[in-house]
Chain A
Amino acid sequence: MKPVKFSTIVFTMLVGLIFQLYPWSNSGIIIRPDFLLVIMIYWLLQAPYHCNIGWVWFAGLLVDLSTGSLLGQHALTFAITAFLGLIYQRRLVLFNRWQLYLYVIFLFGVQRALILLLKLFAGGEIPDWTYGLPVISDLILWQFMIIWFGELTRPKKL
């Protein structure tokens, strides 16, 4: 398979940012996926030679700036999530579809849990069960990324 172009990554990041900036209504915000997180995790696993923890961290920073929340908290959770994805990257590309779904759900769940933790430290309140819903829409978006940009590339058989 051809290596991914770096410009593709930047372009999808921009598109993700636009979706992030879309004025979501009250009910929309409950199911809104974390566009930038899904896109960047996909590229991290698909093209680790272009997209490293730093880029995912930068995407988190963009989310922080666009939501107007405390600068650095999304960036921190994105970086940790990226790390958890990256250390298993070699194995993940060998997984079958369902194993991969499970691991990806785990990653998105970890990110949301970390954000929740940070917000609770800052004096937030515990949200209701709908807080977990975006993980499902994250997974749907993940599937779209797979459709548009292909399954994760396996290394060539020797």
Chain B
Amino acid sequence: MLKGIHQQLDPQESPAFFIQGPKPFPRLMFFCALSLVMMAVDARFDYLGQVRQWFSTALHPLEVVASAPNEWARNINTYFSSHNQLIQDNFKLKQQALIDHAALQRLATVDAENAHLRTLLAGDAPIIPQATLGEVMHMGRDPFSNIITLNRGSRHQITPGQAVVDEQGVVGQITRVYPYTSEVTLITDKKLSIPIQIERNQLRAIAFGEGKRNTLDIPYLPTSVDIKVGDKLVTSGIDGVYPAGLAVAVVTQIKQSQDSPFAKIISRPIAGVNNHKHVLILKVPDSPVINQTNENRPFLPRNNAQHLDQSVVDVLQKNNAAVDPHPVTETPVLDTGVPEANTNSQGLTPENTPAPVAPEHP
């Protein structure tokens, strides 16, 4: 009987309490308090990480749906990219490969020599990182932070803290990992700092991102410091996150003011932090390979100047070429680990080194 009365009532005429529940102001206070608590918990503790993980997994299908139009557009674009363009690119890339190989031949010799000298001095083997190829999904949805999202996540053994590079230099660092995606904070972000070394005189310092301006700042260096405009900054490798010797930035501006004991040094990142499609996610082994130094072998595994297997760099360069003929949507995981380098170490020149993993395109 009561139900019957209920149905007769128009929603407009029933008492306000039953339509709206609590009044707006207490409701607002409740939700304000709730969100403030959440912000505090999220900022100070780690409890909500699991919520994010769970949500990200649940949202993955929606994300796929949302990025589908872009994917189609790119596929169609690829389909109609002209034959001529491809031939031209191919030609250009082959020329580049020739030049690179010439440089690499010398490199192999120098590396071997370097390894030999290191053993003579009983030094540690250089750390050779493993690399995973990742594709940039989008440039972040929050205009305040310099974050890009990659299509590799914890399912692909990505962990927070890994360094991300492109073929020119350091892009950033993985800061948050979801099951299928991961967030990379760019080196230009305000929150990120990176230990660097000036290539010319090995001076060590720390570079901080400057946010929106897309530059890096090197504070706390005295005005008398030996830095010139045009100096190249490379990673020093003392943090154990970034392998040593990766290009970071070029000094573009040095300001010295009377009232400050420190010089204001501005530098511009070398890697195309904002315009790339494919990047490498590096994994630095926890400790250097010890057994090799113990055996006191004359030759250590060949490693390149970039500390990356050349084939991986090749793949990367191809993928970031002007026209992307085969967008790598499902790339095989490229692990160029120590064991592999070990097998083809002894004096192989790059020409007869077979590319260990070449992505097969249908």
- Counting chain B CB atoms within 10 Å of each CB, the highest count among A18, A71, A128, A131 belongs to A71
Are B183's CB and A68's CB within 8 A?
Answer: yes
Of the candidates A25, A30, A155, the one whose C-beta lies within 8 Å of that of B12 is A155
Given contacts A20-B141, A52-B21, A124-B144, are A3 and B38 in contact (CB under 8 A)?
no
Of the candidates B28, B55, B138, the one whose C-beta lies within 8 Å of that of A83 is B28
Within 8 A of A (CB), among B54-111: 55-56, 59, 62-63, 65-67, 69-70
Are B28's CB and A125's CB within 8 A?
Answer: no
Are A79's CB and B62's CB within 8 A?
Answer: no
Given contacts A79-B35, A127-B143, A127-B212, are A70 and B42 in contact (CB under 8 A)?
yes
Q: How far is the CB of B354 from chain A (nearest CB, A)?
A: 36
Are B32's CB and A79's CB within 8 A?
Answer: yes
- A residues contacting the other copy or chain, number (CB 8 A): 48
Which residue from chain A places its CB closest to the CB of B21 in the assembled complex? A52
- Counting chain B CB atoms within 10 Å of each CB, the highest count among A21, A26, A29, A48 belongs to A21
B-side interface mostly: helix
Of the candidates B31, B43, B142, the one whose C-beta lies within 8 Å of that of A68 is B142
Give Cα distance in the complex from A130 to B249, angstroms.
28
With an 8 A cutoff between CB atoms, is B48 at the interface?
yes
Contacts of B333 in A (CB 8 A): none
Contacts of A24 in B (CB 8 A): 138-139, 141
Within 8 A of A (CB), among B7-41: 11-12, 19-21, 24-25, 27-28, 31-32, 34-39, 41
**Contact mask for chain A residues 139-158; partner B; CB cutoff 8 A; 1 contact, 0 none:** 00000000000000001100
- B residues contacting the other copy or chain, number (CB 8 A): 49
Given contacts A23-B70, A30-B143, A68-B142, are A48 and B20 in contact (CB under 8 A)?
yes
Which residue from chain B places its CB closest to the CB of A156 in the assembled complex? B12
Give Cα distance in the complex from A131 to B212, angstroms.
13
Q: How far is the CB of A86 from chain B (nearest CB, A)?
A: 5
Which residue from chain A places its CB closest to the CB of B66 in the assembled complex? A21
Are A73's CB and B31's CB within 8 A?
Answer: no
Give Cα distance in the complex from A4 to B118, angstroms.
76
With an 8 A cutoff between CB atoms, is B176 at the interface?
yes
With an 8 A cutoff between CB atoms, is B116 at the interface?
no
Contacts of A61 in B (CB 8 A): 35
With an 8 A cutoff between CB atoms, is A69 at the interface?
yes
Are A54's CB and B27's CB within 8 A?
Answer: yes
Of the candidates A18, A49, A67, the one whose C-beta lies within 8 Å of that of B141 is A67
- Give 15 A-B contacts (CB < 8 Å), ordered by A residue: A18-B62, A21-B59, A22-B70, A23-B66, A25-B139, A29-B140, A52-B21, A54-B31, A65-B56, A67-B140, A68-B147, A72-B38, A79-B28, A86-B24, A127-B212
9 extra A-B contacts, CB within 8 A, seeds A21-B67, A61-B35, A65-B52: A24-B138, A25-B139, A49-B19, A57-B31, A57-B35, A69-B144, A72-B36, A76-B36, A87-B24
Q: Show the binding face of B for A, using Cβ within 8 Å.
A: 11-12, 19-21, 24-25, 27-28, 31-32, 34-39, 41-43, 48, 51-52, 55-56, 59, 62-63, 65-67, 69-70, 137-145, 147, 176, 183, 190, 211-212, 274
